[in-house]
Amino acid sequence: MSQAQFTPRVFSGIQPSGDLHLGNYLGALKRFADAQDRGVQSLYCMVDLHAITVWQDPAKLRHATRELTAGFIASGLDPEKSILFNQSQVPEHTQMAWIFNCVARMGWMKRMTQFKDKAGKNAENASLGLFGYPALMAADILVYHATHVPVGEDQKQHLELTRDIAAKFNHDYDVEFFPMAEPVIEGAGTRVMSLRDGTKKMSKSDPSDMSRINMTDDADTISKKIRKAKTDPEPLPMDLDGLEGRPEARNLVNIYAGLAGMSAEDVMRDMGGRTFSEFKPMLADLAVDRMAPISAEMGRLMQDTAEIDAILGRGSERAREIAAPILAKTYEIVGLVGS
Ligand code: TYM
């Protein structure tokens, strides 16, 4: 059997572990919304069980899960068209993850750079959940037989592991049951860097709030953060090659391209030769224009958390309808007795 047997299906997830930022928007949410009308069934998951691999305050986790859902909707995702749900309401994810814990090898997991980054020097004290995180991620994807996974650059290694797990399962049980899910990492927004250091990715764990634009920031804050973003003294070069060795300049060009829906080449054609005192206000205006209405809409949606919970409940039911038969078939392949 070839991979062609799998109906195209999109899956992606975001952790509700604190402030959503411009990297999540350009690398994930905006791209999900742009793809919404392509007619492919799409599932988007608030991965709350991934979030608790590091300590989360329970009240903050609840708030962040709802706020993330509001972020999806405010970014243009329609819960009627896409399935929006939270991971913990679909127990098939953890059931499949156990099977994959038994397929994935210790050596594979030890190579995961994100575990090494997150666990830091004190890996002995990291949770077992943090170590096994990528097996749960593979389960998220494969329990739906998803074929396409839109993510930012930083998730590439986890998706390679997902393919390794699918291939080993198929090989060990002599089946063609799981698809080789394709990472979809396209466009200028897939690697948004810190506004304070163009060599570090924009991240919610950076201690400096000035390093990122949060999706809940208001217009003045967005504008201030862009005006204060680190740059070098040279004007923008005339083409992309001229950005070599200038990570902060390259990042601001990429952010402009992502927000405007343009390629970085086109931005250089329009902006090449401008100084940062000209370019930054233009970027700030664009960022405010695109992000401030999303922030306002998230605030509005958060006034009715019962409605958000109802959306997650309905989405979880729809997700289970797809996941349950795939899990049942997996159990059967593995030899687990059921009725
Ligand atoms: P998370 O929650 O860290 O990030 C969510 C999405 O945002 C992207 N992203 C970025 N893109 C560009 N520039 C940045 N600075 C930036 N920071 C974050 C991430 O690449 C991601 O697409 N392990 C995943 C969540 C997950 C998942 C899944 C994703 C769990 N299961 C199954 C896809 C499929 C994570 O921690 O993403």
185 lines ligand 1 (CB under 6 A): no
Q: What distance in Å separates the CA atoms of residue 150 and residue 182, rounded to the nearest whole number?
A: 8
At residue 2, does pLDDT exceed 70?
no
Q: How confident is the model at residue 312 (pLDDT cuts 50, 70, 90)?
A: very high
At residue 47, does pLDDT exceed 90?
yes
Identify whether the C-beta of residue 161 lies closer than 8 Å to the C-beta of residue 169. Answer: no
**Catalytic-role residue among 60, 118, 156, 168:** 118
Identify whether the C-beta of residue 71 lies closer than 8 Å to the C-beta of residue 144. Answer: no
At residue 3, does pLDDT exceed 70?
no
The residue nearest atom 4 of ligand 1, judged by CA position, is 14
At residue 1, does pLDDT exceed 60?
no
Index of the ligand 1 atom closest to the CA of residue 137: 31
Quick check: helix, strand or coil at residue 13?
Answer: strand
Q: What would the two tokens of residue 38 be?
A: 């392509």
| Confidence at residue 195, expressed as pLDDT on a 0 to 100 scale | 98
The residue nearest atom 19 of ligand 1, judged by CA position, is 152
Output the CA angle 130-23-221, nearest 5 degrees. Answer: 120
Place of tokens 């304070």: 196
Place of tokens 């070069």: 237
48 lines ligand 1 (CB under 6 A): no
Whole-number Å distance, alpha carbon 237 to ligand 1 midpoint, is 31
The structural domains of the chain, ordered by start, are 3-189+304-334 (3.40.50.620), 209-300 (1.10.240.10)
Identify whether the C-beta of residue 138 lies closer than 8 Å to the C-beta of residue 168. Answer: no
For residue 193, the 8-state DSSP code is B
pTM across the whole model: 0.96
- Residue 156 appears among annotated catalytic residues: no
Size (the chain), residues: 339
Average pLDDT value for the chain: 96
pLDDT digits over 257-280, tens only? 999 999 999 999 999 999 999 999
141 lines ligand 1 (CB under 6 A): yes
At residue 223, does pLDDT exceed 70?
yes
Q: What would the two tokens of residue 94 be?
A: 């953890």
Phi then psi for residue 84, to 5 deg, are -105, 125
Ligand 1 mutation target, pool 154, 163, 190, 195, most atoms within 8 A of CB: 154
Place of tokens 């990472």: 183
Identify whether the C-beta of residue 252 lies closer than 8 Å to the C-beta of residue 203. Answer: no
Phi then psi for residue 25, to 5 deg, are -70, -55
Ligand 1 mutation target, pool 151, 158, 199, 251, most atoms within 8 A of CB: 151
- Residue 201 appears among annotated catalytic residues: yes
Q: What would the two tokens of residue 220 be?
A: 């003045």
**Catalytic-role residue among 156, 168, 204, 230:** 204
